[in-house]
Amino acid sequence: MKQKNGWLAAVVVIFILLAAGLAVNGAVESFLYPTKYTDEVFSSADEYAVERGAVFAVIKCESRFKQDALSHKGAIGLMQIMPSTGAYLYGKVYDGEQFADRMLYTPKINIRLGTYYLRYLTDRFQDIYWAAAAYNAGEGTVAQWIGEGLSLEDIPYPETREYIARFKAALKKYRKILTRRKQTGGSWNYARLREIFPPFILRYTAARTRFILD
């Protein structure tokens, strides 16, 4: 009996250490790749048939999820929309209602307009990465590059090349995050632990430690 209890105690210790490690990894991931404004992102992405991860990736690249972001060029909010562009998009999305620049600081409006624009760019260039390039450098500029036969790797603007690299990395990561959440219902740490420990160990450990994973 003592040997059995010692073995179970060792498993509990390992369990707690692994859970703590996963919690740290999850915290780091959430810091580097936030999924704030989930309701607004999901709603707008679904409304305009844009990949949810792409919207998160644009927000990360544009503002790092800072609602009050204001660039030196005057771009505003989470998806860094210029007031002139915002006025045009607002007229399209909100059926001609009166627009004011300050509205771009509202997450719901900013994300909806930015997602609508991303949908438009994706339709025009038939590629999410060229759409992201156009979001950064302007659709006229990207149309010229494509007309000249340039590839994404040939983009002459260092800023846009760097932007695309960051967008690709963010999109890849957000695809993994969102897929994992869909598969596990959001309980990432617990899902990982279930891959390592049999069910009776999890039940025993939970009973002994009252450890809450998520």
| Residue carrying structure tokens 């617990």 | 190
Reading the block at residue 212, the tokens are 């809450």
* Separation between Cα atoms, residue 125 and residue 146, nearest integer Å: 9
Q: Which of 29, 51, 62, 148 is catalytic?
A: 62
78 in Cβ contact with 59 (< 8 Å): yes
Judge whether 97 counts as a catalytic residue.
Answer: no
Give me the residues paired with residue 17 across strands.
none
Angle at 37 between CA 34 and CA 124, to 5 degrees: 90
Q: Please tell me the distance from the alpha carbon of residue 21 to that of residue 67, in angstroms, as a whole number.
A: 31
Please tell me the distance from the alpha carbon of residue 127 to that of residue 124, in angstroms, as a whole number: 8
Q: Which of 124, 128, 77, 132 is nearest to 100 (CA)?
A: 77
Q: Which residues are catalytic?
A: 62
